[in-house]
Amino acid sequence: MRLQGKTAIVTGAGSGFGAGIARRFAQEGARVIVADINLAGAEAVAAEIGGLAVACNVADGSSVAALAEAAQAEFGGAPDILVNNAGVTHLPAFMEEISEADFDRVIGVNAKSIYLMAKAFAGGMKARRSGAILNIASTAGVSPRPKLSWYNASKGFVITATRAMAVELAPFGVRVNALNPVAGETPLLASFMGEDTPEMRAKFLSTIPLGRFSTPEDLANAALYLCSDEASMVTGVAMEVDGGRCI
């Protein structure tokens, strides 16, 4: 019960890594708001863990403001823990072939959302002088894969934003860290690969020394540590959960 008495918001928690993190946090005693643009997915996870489902488009300021209102009503203020997990990618293609709409979507969901969530919740954490923010970045922000250029760039933003936030918020007792997962068994996997075939899976796995994809449980275990009091001296870290891919 390492999060007993804590409150948490996890975005993109209706599936994949976010669902795994929300489940683990609840198991460890946290009250969790499960936020996702897919309300049905969020409701299914929330029902499973005894949390609250909230529909949220993290790239839209008014939608994030509504999430903040829901958190105020549910928690009485900013959450103790905020996990910015929601993310999207574009299909693999040469950088000049990616449509402007796809570029805007990737930057909006992966990068602008970090700003919007900070705008909504950082002030409350600062006033309370405590809090933990976890941004889910990617090994793509450290070791980019070809034909995923703008996704790579968006995750590089997340890593740099994490460090900048950590420096600014440290005097207020708020810690900010990131996780860099390698491709995982989530709904985004097929989009990263372009096609989900045994050949493409073998190609991706050949770049991961431990020889397997990451799982929601892998990310949940790392997230639990970074968001718990056990990591009270850890801030500004971008931790690889990648089976050795970035070595």
**How many residues in the chain?**
247
Give me the helices (H) in the chain, please.
16-27, 39-49, 61-75, 100-107, 113-128, 149-169, 189-193, 198-205, 216-227
Helix (H) or strand (E) holding 54: strand 52-55
Give strand pairing partners of 83.
Answer: 10, 134
Active site residues: 151
76 phi-psi bin (left φ>0, alpha ψ -120 to 50, beta other): left
